[in-house]
């Protein structure tokens, strides 16, 4: 089984449905106690929200791009 990379949502709550759907699909296809191999990288939304409130969309985008790069190094 391959490992899936998941860049978490804007909050941990928004990531839960994706994680659940992925694992339910694996369980349906493979049965038993199978679950997906997942590496999850999540950002601290408080930082993103501060940038948004300040109107600094470039910094918010940069933070997300950096998160993607950090995830790729895992």
Domains in the chain: ranges and CATH: 3-72 (3.40.50.1860)
Please, is 12 exposed, middle or buried when counting C-beta atoms within 10 Å of its C-beta (0-12, 13-18, 19+)? middle
Q: Scan for tokens 């470039």, then name that residue.
A: 58
Q: What is the pLDDT of residue 71?
A: 75
Question: What is the rounded distance in angstroms from the CA atom of residue 41 to the CA atom of residue 19?
Answer: 12
Q: Tokens for 13?
A: 């709550």
| Per-residue pLDDT reduced to its tens digit, 22-61 | 999 999 999 999 999 999 988 888 999 999 999 999 999 9
What are the backbone dihedrals phi and psi of residue 36, each rounded to the nearest 5 degrees, phi first?
A: -75, 150
pTM, 2 dp? 0.74
Does residue 13 register a pLDDT over 80?
Answer: yes
């Amino acid at each position: 089984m391959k490992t899936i990379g998941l860049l978490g949502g804007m909050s941990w709550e928004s990531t839960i449905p994706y994680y659940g759907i992925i694992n339910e699909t694996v369980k349906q296809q493979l049965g038993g106690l199978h679950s997906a191999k997942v590496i999850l990288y999540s950002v601290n939304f408080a930082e993103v929200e501060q940038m948004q409130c300040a109107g600094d969309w470039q910094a918010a985008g940069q933070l997300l791009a950096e998160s993607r790069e950090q995830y790729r190094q895992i």
